[in-house]
Structure 1
């Protein structure tokens, strides 16, 4: 849970920092969207080799390496001279962070008997980081230059690395209780890897892979530029609130951005979505519940701009509905992966899953950045609705395929 919170603290501090980089480096959303897509892309692409390494070396080594690498990447980010340097530092972050989800989710799948509840609490911890990362970053930016802020953000990961190395646990405590299986060594050659992949990619798992890819496009696309969207809607709804809070011309008035705090609130609401999604896996089949949440995401996307344009109450309602539904999908997809995979290859299965969510999904940042550069926010949310609608159709096919003997 600590590792999950740290990964998402860094992941979600990046959109807040992007609002600073837009003015600091005099660049466009399209350019920064590509820069973010590099880091977020490696975050997903590295999940596949990360999954293989988890099956071979275990969760402790991978999570500790992840935390150490993320700390180093933010130290490098503080020294970045321009957009190219920022892109390189984000690439290091993405490569380091990529191993976390296969390691953490394998540990829960194979080590926790109450799997659905474990996914729920694990997801809630992630949302603490998802909400806390932007909030802490925004507060630090009120008082410090962004370079000092990212250097300060590097410290917790380095401390967590030391703490993680001292913790003891049984990573396979629940295999017999939940699956009746035993661990098998990970592939030693390309041929063995191909064989494991062929065994893993049943029709059901193939559908899951594509579903989570479209969910990743939605997730990354909406969250990367959401602070900018919220800023525009808030300005239209309540105007500039800074003169009523700070002295005009003060450094804090220049740095304060109300949208960043609404963004943090939206992500905090996601904690409830994580919990609901996790509990749904205990009361119904996760692939069936996933259909309901994906339909909800489509409805929210299509209604977001009309609701936000009605004023502050509509904006708040749309924002919190988005945060709740967006994060309710995560424990459901994780439990669905566990349902359609075997315990001895869980690292590989979650590696492929997060290759789709964060690797394929990273294109969402570039897509939305480009659409936002050449079209309107309304068009962006129509594109997002198309992602979730496609995922819904595939989820229906998955449930139907699951009924076939």
Structure 2
């Protein structure tokens, strides 16, 4: 039975917000829990939007964090389809789009991120898409199926994770795919040229065309429909649909207007939080894609836009809201599925932070582990079609110790044996 002695409000209906609500109840909180979401759908997970649901392998219901009935059973008050438009820190209240004003004792901002838009002529044409929300995936799934039936062309701006996963899904439907990317390889800033080439070769084998070193300058059409896209080097590519997959920006508007401290844009932006996910206001926490957290192990501020971060930060923030001691130091982790290739990445190795990329296994067969090293210390590892090694990779990253690189490269040496 809920009592009204305290009200905890969560703004954001993604994985972080839903898991925070679940954790508040599982940890024994008996006050009001109010979850506000500007989408009409119940909280859902985002990876299926570019993976199983988009490919047609999974049903729509599989994306939801909880069954719809769970929220009433857990006495979670839902405000779906309602954006939070104002945060009054003095009065400790948020105002929703319909004018509803909600008081809070503790507030969690899990507002996520939004897709970056192409700032070029032609983006108002029918057939220009983004992929961030379930409604986007609903539309894009039908578009890919139609393109496959009609031998249509999908042009993707951006060779990041979303762009590559959608390309794989589109080829599965039989659509023609061209990817335009300003860098020389896919995921150049994340994986570097060594591993980006592996993914480029994979997609080329499945019929994807790449145009590297170029940016879109215009999308052209006729009768309101997309016909082609032009790049800054004078090329023109046929296209019946265009996907803008050029990254996401943290949704910080509510926090910024309320005067909360933000992280530098050069560092990815987001709401600045400490290791307990507390903002500059002690009664407000942030988690998920919008939170730029001070990482106690890596000694840097990180904003991580991946499933595992939302899965774990939401509960951590909930515990901190309850007054528990929290120091969020999980190793960043993400995964991707493209065709018959599956990979997992653990760690943090931004460009310029490592001096060696070491491969363990057979890159030609795409069965290997890549390690990013700095002076012999493992900063990150990515296992490609090699499984059940994530825990050992994360232990190597967490240890911070120098390793024997010859042993690290030798598949016959167990990873666990490299730990002192």
Normalising by structure 2, report the TM-score: 0.27
Q: Flag the structure with higher helix content.
A: 1
Q: TM-score, with normalisation over the residues of structure 1?
A: 0.28
